[in-house]
Amino acid sequence: MKIKIIGNQLKKGMKFIGKITKRKSALETLENILLEVEKSFIKILFTNLETGLIYQSLVKTEKEGKICIKKDVFEDLVNYLDDEDIIELEEKDNFLKIQSSKFSSKIKKFSVDDFPVLPLPKEEKSIFVNSKNFTDNLKSVLNFTSPYLEKPEISGVLMKILENEMVFVATDNFRLGEKKFFQKVEGEFPAFFIIPQESAKEIYGIFNNLNEKIKIYYSPYQIFLEKKSEEGDFPELIYISKLTEGKFPEYEGVIPQKFITEVYLRTEDFLKKIKMASVFVKKTNELELIFLPKENKIKVLTENIDLGNFEAETTTEIKGKEISVIFNYKSLEEGIEAVNDTEFFIGIAGKDKPVLIKPKNIEDFIYILAPIKKD
Amino acid sequence: MDKQEVWQSVLAQIKLLISPANFNTWFKNTEVLEIENEKILLSVPNSFIKEWFEQKYHQMILKVVKSIHPQIKEIEYVIGKTPPSLIKKQIKRIIFPQPELLTFEIDEKTGLNPKYTFSNFVVGSFNELSYAAAQAIVEAPGKIYNPLFIYGGVGLGKTHLLQAIGNFLYKNKKMNVIYFQSNKLVEEIINAIKNNTIEELKKGFKDVEILILDDVQFLSGKEKTQEEFFFIFNYLYEKNRQIVLSSDRPAKVIPSLAERLKSRFEGGMIADISLPDYESRVAILKVKSQEKNINLQKEVLEYIASNIKNNIRELEGALNILSTFSKFHKKEITLETAKKLLKNIISPIPKISTFKKILKIVSEFYDVKEEDILSNLRRKEILKPRHIIMYLLRNEMNYSYPAIAQKFGGKDHTTVIHACEKIKKELLKNDELSEEINQLKIKIFEKEKI
């Protein structure tokens, strides 16, 4: 193998590769990347056997071939390249030789035969989305998945593809977030699948910085996200992930419909109060909200015997009955943060019942949170 | 050789051919799904593994398989069940010390659990009357049997039948159904009284078309709740809304239940669910094992059915144990394994007590001296506990009448018969007495605290 490539192209590729989580494995080759040169293309491949990434770029090829090297070493080195540098990569004996006008280096090579084969999209169904829009919406629910892998069906994000809409849902059984967004789908729908939480994070990491059309292929077992190159009609980036098997819970039934107390609040102002109050939460993370309709006030209270306490009031119009609800402050805060509107709605369905939080102006997000039960 | 054994011996050979790291990475969670004539169907956890097998290891696997099964010419790889993650991560626990309230099984609006339907309800002679009544009700709710009162012992499917009625009417007829566990209703009413919102609570029932109240025996002794419920009941009843009730005993023997409620509960149709017969138990096990997706041999099912007789929930419990075991060990359950696993359920700790213990507990309970009970004194406050002891010895400990007579200083055994009969008769009309005896039984068979 022998090629010439521009520095920033290598940097770009390794930046994408770096977003894939490296997992501990006994198999040494999983610490490696594979460089593959064929015709006038170089491919850089990396995988942890659950997800994987292929980066492809045009190069000046002098000799085709494949070489396997340690990912971390190459990544660290490439990171310092200047964008305009012309880099020469050449396989020599047991090494990959890297040379520019400024430096020269040799990286030890490993057996190419051990490197895993990455599955490629074949007959899968596909849709097109905007990468930024897609990942921004994904992020709204990304934190709400269950961290426990014993319940695989809720340890990932449910993705629903409907005729004119896509929906992301995530829950950990204590709270649930549902984000809808308009997306014209050409292709087959409805389709439902669960993206593992690790993969969803990787997808956000890789595609949120891009703002262009990407193609998503899906089959029952895996999902591919493909970004076309600006240099020509070939994919610059293919991301691969397995999907989680299982049936996402039928969550529609838990969405509260009727409320005994309801109120609209200013997002930024209220979030600030919660954050201040959180200084004094106990280990149990309890934060109390008291709704006082007669006085049109909401109180935010926390108390920690060892530290002190906090109390704040917000004046606003409250409909319904007086009630006090205790929340896990973190879950409350995360839900309100995901609202993405200047004002939001809180509806209390009753004592010990889940509450509903949603934006005031756009009906694209709902958050359901179970309060902490107190006798 | 069965397919598991074939695959195990293939793996054993492959282990010698490749490095342990490779073996653990690629062959973990693989299994043979099927061997048919010349073809093996192999399940692999994901598409990365599938690609690798197809492109790299295919020749090696085929060669080893052929050495064991020479007729095999083809291997097909399919993506099967994936474990959640191949490489387990350390996760910090205790993130939300919060009770789980979003239990997705229960419908927020109706309180029903959608898993209970008529289609998975097994009908046998023990419950056919109740089932027929339920069917009649879903045909014409509020018109034929109102209220429907179903009673029967613990774990015999009362809740299943009640919920099936609710689910059917809610889903198919879009009716406004509400399901309550009686203790939940008691809780709501108490809260409403406390917060002075009882009128609102009652208003909440205004649009209810089907009211299902499970385990009404829990209303016993809750006078205020009974009173409020009486109004709700009347309101719905007058409007011909269907009411379905269940209890672990007939309404007339529920202690401390207001007469007016008893007579209303009995005013419609009363149906009982008795113990399932052997054939029904086998049928139930078949349905449940299909639901749980576990394949059990006929002998195993028959073994469970012939040993667990009193409770369908226990049947299900037994299946759960077996299903967990077979999923974990990935092997079929033999009769031997089943016997071993179900030992604790099938032969529970026997009821152990002694004459001495019974004597002590009963005399303490009624605050009389033990020697008085054993004496010939015929005072009323002593006669009652004495008769109760005789009754308990006879009915719970299976003592013979003469043996009991001997324990009481050589009384005539007809005296004992008379005493037992007297208690038995009294039990039918005296709720207080039956409650006392129940409490005594609990104490008598309570495990000794060490």
Question: Which among A283, A328, A351 has the least Cβ separation from residue B98?
Answer: A328
What is the number of CB-based contacts under 8 A between chain A and chain B?
A: 132
* Cα atoms found within 13 Å of the Cα of residue A235, Cβ hemisphere only: 17
Residue of A nearest to B82 (CA): A245
Quick one: pLDDT at residue A69? Answer: 96
Tens digit of each residue's pLDDT (9 = 90 or more) over A51-67: 999 999 999 999 999 99
Rounded to whole angstroms, the Cα distance separating A331 from A143 reads 10
Tens digit of each residue's pLDDT (9 = 90 or more) over B389-448: 999 888 888 888 888 888 888 788 888 999 999 998 888 887 778 878 877 887 777 654
Question: Which among B21, B87, B102 has the least Cβ separation from residue A28?
Answer: B21
- The confidence band for A215, taking pLDDT boundaries of 50, 70 and 90, is very high
What is the reported pTM? 0.60
Does the beta carbon of A245 lie under 8 angstroms from any beta carbon of chain B?
A: yes
H runs (alpha helix) in chain A: 7-18, 71-78, 131-142, 197-207, 267-277, 329-337
Quick one: pLDDT at residue B347? Answer: 59
Rounded to whole angstroms, the Cα distance separating B240 from A117 reads 69
Residue of B nearest to A155 (CA): B84
Collect all residues of chain A within an 8 Å Cβ-Cβ radius of residue B102: 171, 173-176, 251, 254, 354, 368, 370
Tens digit of each residue's pLDDT (9 = 90 or more) over B341-379: 787 667 555 567 788 888 888 888 888 888 888 888 888
Note whether A302 and A278 are within 8 A (CB). Answer: yes
Cβ–Cβ gap B55/A330 under 8 Å: no
Tens digit of each residue's pLDDT (9 = 90 or more) over A65-111: 999 999 999 999 999 999 999 999 999 999 999 999 999 999 999 99
Which helix or strand (DSSP H or E) is residue A3 part of?
A: strand A2-6
How far A118 CA lies from chain B's nearest CA (Å)? 6
Quick one: pLDDT at residue B447? Answer: 53
Cis peptide bond N-terminal to A235, omega within 30: no
> Tokens 């977030």 map to which residue?
A177
- Which of B79, B96, B188, B201 has the highest number of chain A CBs within 10 A, making it the mutation to test binding with A? B96
- Which of B104, B179, B184 has the highest number of chain A CBs within 10 A, making it the mutation to test binding with A? B104
Cβ–Cβ gap A117/B51 under 8 Å: yes
How far B80 CA lies from chain A's nearest CA (Å)? 9
Does the beta carbon of B48 lie under 8 angstroms from any beta carbon of chain A?
A: yes
Cβ–Cβ gap B51/A175 under 8 Å: no
Rounded to whole angstroms, the Cα distance separating B271 from A329 reads 50
Cβ–Cβ gap B191/A351 under 8 Å: yes
Q: Beta A343-348 vs A261-266: how paired, if at all?
A: antiparallel
Residues 6+ apart with CB under 8 A from B341: B321, B322, B325, B333
Share of chain A residues as helix, strand and coil, in percent rounded to the nearest 5:
20, 45, 35
ipTM exceeds 0.85: no
Tell me the percentage of chain A whose pLDDT exceeds 70.
Answer: 98
